[in-house]
Chains A and B, each alone.
Chain A
Amino acid sequence: MDAIVVDQLRKTFAGSGRMRKRAPVEAVAGISFTVAAGERLAYIGPNGAGKSTSIKMLTGILHPSSGQAEVLGLVPWRQRRRLAGRIGTLFGQRSQLWFQLTPRQTYSLLARIYRVTADEERARIAELGELLDAGDLFDRPVRSLSLGQRMRCELVASMLHQPEVLFLDEPTIGLDLVAKSLFRDLIVRINEERGTTILLTSHDVSDIEQVARRVIVINHGRLIYDDRVSQMRRTLLGTKMIDVRFAQPPDSLEIEGTRLVKLSGAGAKLVVDTTLRPIRSVLDDLLDRHEVVDISVSDPPLEEIVSHIYARPA
């Protein structure tokens, strides 16, 4: 059964400026896809690709310029309030917690809004607190929480009414590496333990690899890629970036399976072709041959993946 059906969805924002002289902006340019119930989908694209606009239409905040969509059998922009009771949302850049209250006080208000009984409210808060390891945060004022702690509390707020679909818009933005990793694990657990359909937008490639099973890439409002993440990893994520700082500038830096992108003084940037050589082996090589002060491994930026998609043979 499909949880989300999108058919030729389009959103054009009117031109701005005096007398609307600037040209209209086509944020979403006729996209179509379906998401099965219980699926974990990453909906990704560079900044300005149309990800957030799509989510806002699918949650009923924005009315599309044309096209159709159904979420859980409801048309979001016509049945927004009915749909709101069955979906959860988490926007990384916007909070749904009241800053003057503790998370528990916000949950209490949300429970009344979503018609959750007092017994259910208590049980779910305890269960989610345990699942997200956040129970000790619920009685602290929101303004005193770190971003990572707040995001865990936000997730509880999104899950309190047991939504069937969870929309996550850039949920890991601003989090440190440890918090990001923890948060990704939580999303996967919620999906696996509750069967909640997950639609995640991000421009962090690691979010996609660690959370989603399927990925849709959009660019300039158009769908340009739709496949399993495992397939994407094989065809598009064949590289990793290594940033390394040595104790002393190296005489030479020739390491098999890598390409030197930049060498300035004691710092270097290398691209590793992971289809030729595993990243771990390259790291071992670097650490054995040189005195390393600092080292980090990152994924290629999303813009690079998008250009790979365009460069593929038709």
Chain B
Amino acid sequence: MRAYLAGFDRGFRRTIADPGDMAVRVGFFAIILVVMVALWRAAIAAHGGSIGGYDMRSLLWYVFAAQTAVLGVRPRSVEEIGDEIGSGAIAIQMLRPVSVVGLRISIELGEGAARLLTALIAGGMLTWWFAGPPPSAAGLALAVPAVALGCAANVASQHAFGAVAFWLLDAKSSWFFYQKLVFLPGGMLIPLELLPHPLELASRLLPFATMAYVPGRLASGDADPMLLAWQLGWLAALMAIAVAAFAAGERRLSVVGG
């Protein structure tokens, strides 16, 4: 456990040591929020002040939490994992007396924690300025751990998807597919309630909704603690899948030459 905590700590310190990257991310986040405010303001005005049960304020707090949870994750992790497996660089990580996927996830969670802290503070202030106070203090209080759990579920899931490269030697295609799954069934672009009914039902059965929709839903004012339980369940399952996929993949790793 010491090794994984050290990995988390190293990831955290490495990220805060690179303020340039943090500034770019927060700047990009602010632009997304401004664009979303304009879009949703027009959409809600066209629907008489509410859409899918969300008014302007709740929708903007939804957007803030959903985007923050995704912002915490290393953007192209699936692709990077695939490149490391395909090139054989993963072999170096296999020469340490700890779980390869465990150490990778702990480092990425450390990086994510640093990004989330910044995004929560900067994004929260911006959202407050644009939309006013959150619809529910309890909802916001639950949204904060939900953002962290959503980020963790996303990291675990990216490792499960990236492990495909043990078989295909590349994860570019799965990265493309994965990104879209977080965007739509994950609720990053729009709340699930705004999707067509069959797609909304299917999305609720998939793990991606725990990565953006759950934090967003809580921040929008629905202070339902069962949403956190839903996240925790999927997080455990995704971690187990990632560990199993790496264990199976490491056994069949084929690295030729130096």
Contact = CB atoms under 8 A, between A and B. Distances in A.
A100 B91 contact: no
B94 A91 contact: no
Interface residues of A, number: 41
A18 interface: no
A62 B95 contact: no
Interface stretch (B33-41, B70-78, B96-104, B212-220): B96-104
A61 B258 contact: no
A53 B256 contact: yes
B86 interface: no
B6 A113 contact: yes
Interface stretch (A80-88, A123-131, A257-265, A272-280): A80-88
Given A61-B255, A62-B253, A91-B258, A109 B95 contact: no
B218 to A, nearest CB: 34
Contact of B97 (A92, A108, A114, A170): A114
Nearest to B98: A113
A112 B257 contact: no
Contacts of A110: 96
Contact of B96 (A52, A92, A105, A113): A113
Contact of B6 (A80, A81, A82, A112): A112
A222 interface: no
B10 interface: yes
A115 interface: yes
B47 interface: no
B117 interface: no
Interface string B1-42: 011011100100110011000000000000000000000000
Contacts of B253: 61-62
Interface in A145-183: 169-170, 173
Contacts of A61: 91, 94-95, 253, 255
Contact of B10 (A25, A105, A170, A173): A105
A208 interface: no
Contacts of A52: 257-258
A84 B3 contact: no
Nearest to A161: B97
A33 interface: no
A93 B256 contact: no
B46 interface: no
Given A52-B258, A101-B14, A81 B3 contact: no
Interface string A200-213: 00000000000000
A142 to B, nearest CB: 12
Interface residues of B, number: 29
B95 A89 contact: yes
A13 interface: yes
Contacts of A96: 92, 95
Q: Which of A81, A95, A114 counts the most B-chain CB atoms under 10 A from its CB?
A: A81
Contacts of B3: 112-113, 115
A191 interface: no
Interface in A230-255: none
B29 to A, nearest CB: 22
B197 interface: no
B254 interface: yes
A101 B10 contact: yes
A96 B2 CA distance: 19
B125 interface: no
A109 B6 contact: yes
A53, A61, A96, A100: most-surrounded residue (chain B CB, <10 A): A61
A272 B118 CA distance: 68
A61 B94 CA distance: 7
Given A13-B254, A93-B258, A100-B18, A84 B6 contact: no
B255 A81 contact: no
Nearest to A101: B14
A48 interface: yes
A254 B5 CA distance: 70
Contact of B258 (A85, A108, A170): A170
Contacts of A113: 3, 6, 96-98, 103
A269 interface: no
Contacts of A59: 95
Contact of A80 (B17, B18, B94, B255): B94
B89 interface: yes
Contacts of B14: 98, 100-101
A154 B237 CA distance: 37
10 contacts: A13-B254, A61-B255, A63-B251, A82-B97, A91-B91, A91-B258, A98-B14, A105-B13, A112-B3, A114-B96
| A-B interface, 3 closest residue pairs, ranked by CB to CB distance from nearest | A112-B6, A85-B97, A84-B97
Interface of A: 13-14, 25, 27, 48, 51-53, 56, 59-63, 80-82, 84-85, 87, 89, 91-96, 98, 100-101, 105, 108-110, 112-115, 169-170, 173
Given A25-B256, A62-B255, A113-B103, 20 more contacts: A14-B254, A53-B256, A61-B94, A82-B97, A84-B94, A84-B95, A84-B97, A87-B95, A91-B91, A91-B258, A94-B88, A94-B92, A96-B92, A96-B95, A101-B14, A105-B10, A109-B10, A112-B3, A113-B6, A113-B97
